[in-house]
Copies of this chain bind each other. A is one copy, B any other.
């Protein structure tokens, strides 16, 4: 009985996600679903990415939070379109929330849409938003054992951003173990090592993302 209800929820979400995906396709828009634990650096990565790309790529942002508009205000200061979703307690975004938010964004003018999911390594992985790419951030402060403990999100993600590499000397984080673990679970994942605090490694990430935007735009 409970399983049936859950399948109903996932089915409904899948349909709405397909509608979103079709909208993104029609507008030649790359949509990324950005997921991570609380405090891993989602908003910082968005701010850094927008600062690096905004003269070359037209970016919009959807901010997902359980409560507060702290993040949306930070991102809005960069002068780009931002929509805030407050989930009112829910631990992840779903495709219907995104569908509603899209009404408030100038889709024909955008090339890249960054969706910041709720801070959570578990539930967001289970809900397709219709995104073009999933991007997961892990921070050095969280430890290299996280992919083994939260396997779904690390198996599904298209890119893994390892943030806070300026803390590498301050902890027992083992970069080789992390790379080996993630690549065993997910051999096609693109891995970026960077620090939103110092700026190290950001060019390579932003370059990859811009390449992905161009690829989507050039599709017939």
A→B interface (CB under 8 Å): 2, 5, 9, 37-40, 65-68, 70-71, 89, 91, 118-123, 139, 141-143, 145-146, 148-152, 164, 166-167, 170-171, 197
B91 and A145: CB pair below 8 A? no
Q: With a CB–CB cut-off of 8 A, which chain B residues contact A123?
A: 91, 120, 122-123
Q: With a CB–CB cut-off of 8 A, which chain B residues contact A71?
A: 149
Contact of A66 among B142, B145, B150, B164 (CB under 8 A): B150
Report the separation of the CA atoms of residues A94 and B118 in the bound assembly, to the nearest whole angstrom: 21
Name the residue of chain B whose CB is nearest to the CB of A70: B145
Name, among A38, A118, A164, the residue most crowded by chain B CB atoms within 10 Å (CB to CB). A38
Contact of A38 among B37, B118, B151 (CB under 8 A): B37
A150 and B37: CB pair below 8 A? no
A42 CB to nearest chain B CB (Å): 11
Contact of A167 among B118, B120, B152, B170 (CB under 8 A): B170
11 more A-B contacts (CB under 8 A) besides A38-B142, A120-B121, A141-B164? A37-B142, A38-B150, A39-B139, A65-B149, A70-B149, A91-B91, A118-B122, A119-B121, A119-B149, A166-B170, A171-B197
A46 CB to nearest chain B CB (Å): 14
Report the separation of the CA atoms of residues A142 and B140 in the bound assembly, to the nearest whole angstrom: 11
A148 and B68: CB pair below 8 A? yes
A122 CB to nearest chain B CB (Å): 4
Please list 5 pairs of residues, one from A and one from B, whose beta carbons are closer than 8 Å in the complex, sorted by A's number: A2-B9, A66-B150, A118-B122, A141-B141, A167-B167
B67 and A149: CB pair below 8 A? yes
Report the separation of the CA atoms of residues A164 and B141 in the bound assembly, to the nearest whole angstrom: 9
Report the separation of the CA atoms of residues A151 and B70 in the bound assembly, to the nearest whole angstrom: 13
